[in-house]
Amino acid sequence: MLALHLLLAQPAAARVLPRDIVDPGAPALTYPLTGMSPVGNPPFYSPENVNAAYQHAVYLSIDGMHQSDLEWYVSTFPQSTMASLLQNAIEYTNARCPSPSDSAPGTVSPATGCSPRTHGVYYDDAYDGSLYPPGSNCTGPIGTQTGWDETLDLNNTVLNGGGGFNESMFPLQLTASGYCAAVKPWDFLRVNTMFEVIREQGLVTAYTDKHPAYSMLNGPSGLGLTDGFFPEINAVSGQQETEGYDDLHWSALTNWTMGNYANGTSGLGVPSVYGANFQSVSVSQKAYGYNSELVPTANLTQAFRQVDTRLGQLVDTMKSVGTFDSTLLIIYAKHGQSPINSTLVRKIPHPTLLNVIGVPTVQDASDDASYIWLQDKNDAAQAKANILANATAVGAAEVWIGADIVANGFGNPWFDSRTPDVIIKTEPGVIFTTGKKIAEHGGLNADDHDVVLFVSNPVISASKCDEVVYTRQIAPTFIKALGFDPLLLAGVRAEGTLPLPGVPF
């Protein structure tokens, strides 16, 4: 039996912005800090907001779930919880996750209301040319890999990550005053999060996810989460253990719905905004996938059933404590999984890709696409030519550099220290691996991006919205649903992100 370990939100840290980024002006926290506990929890506030259409907003990511999976599931199991919720929901049939379709940007975009070019998180293992390597004391060559995953744990083989971060693994930044400062996960975000906005109003927030490093959703203030619970997914393996791991998240959600902290301690109050992710579907997609009719296999079906059962239990808890009618519930996926059709799978060893690039690299993130940072940005054109000359060998459908990267919604690699210098969009089915997995995410194809997204509440009439929407629209939707101005989010101001269409406010 997996034990429940509470990982509280990290204490506040000094805000340090990347040197090449102007302060986006995220609003400062204004609640009285004198009542703060050593772990950053504010004094108790009532979550009621008389100006709000809803008193609570909950968002749950079923990682890897496609819109096509939802359609299959509710037709196969018409008595399921998801089928029931869709009777009072707007179903977005053309929802997209961020590019890259990696877990880290898939986590940050819905919480900030913007894409990686604005919030700055491109991958859980990426690169920043404005930071110094861990342990360098801000001396020597500038530029370092940035890993926001299990590599930051004291011990990533146990659920609590060893009880904290291995701070010697943090990248470093030279401040304007000449001080060499560690860049903690929440420091890395370039914009504020919806958790900071809501907590600034004196309300309660909570969130649970798969790595302690995902406490980055505290935002640049370091204070966005009243209660954060981040057990380490790396401590488990296989579908059964992953379902047990997901139950930790469901347990936290149940406790929050009952007004408790994630560990069951009383006194929190029902959060105004809270959320979670679930891993079992994603793990099963990679291991078992879909059959020849593109229908989920028995193992993947079990993963969907497990999530649906637990979702039903959470809904029952909401009803029992009287919050269901006042809660705006969003079911979505941080990312899809590619390919659905396993006959398309083509595994390419990672060294093959590196050999083809043909110029020095400092980092690449390669799952079912490749995001490459070069030692010398001037080598981008040569790298592109080398890759295209060997396109079949590495499964390259398109290669982007410079203006092509910008045109496809990313930052400008010449001016942004975090944007990749070369991006390979692969043919569907290509995975850079020699392992057993038959699907991956992070890529740029339809199965990577086409995700489930629906918004449910008893006042909503069942409908389908076919226009293209993005998971980053969750943040302004929640801010508006709770009675506040979405423009309090710096990312919304930067990109003009709108709330999801059709939601009654």
Q: What per-residue confidence (pLDDT) applies to 35?
A: 27
pLDDT tens for each residue of 253-292: 999 999 999 999 999 999 999 999 999 999 999 999 999 9
CB atoms within 10 A of CB 403: 10
* Phi and psi at residue 459, to the nearest 5°: -85, -10
Chain centroid, CA 175 distance in Å: 28
Quickly tell me which residue has 């991958």 as its tokens.
123
The low-confidence residues of the chain, meaning pLDDT below 70, are 1-50
* Rounded Cα–Cα distance for residues 43 and 203 (Å): 10
Which residues on adjacent β-strands are paired with residue 396?
Answer: 426
pLDDT score of 51:
75
CB under 8 Å, gap of 24 or more: what pairs does 475-479 form?
Answer: 475/110, 475/111, 475/112, 475/113, 475/193, 475/194, 476/113, 477/57, 477/328, 477/330, 477/503, 478/57, 478/59, 478/194, 478/198, 478/273, 478/328, 478/330, 479/113, 479/194, 479/197, 479/198
Query: How far from each other are the two terminal CA atoms of the chain, in whole angstroms?
Result: 43
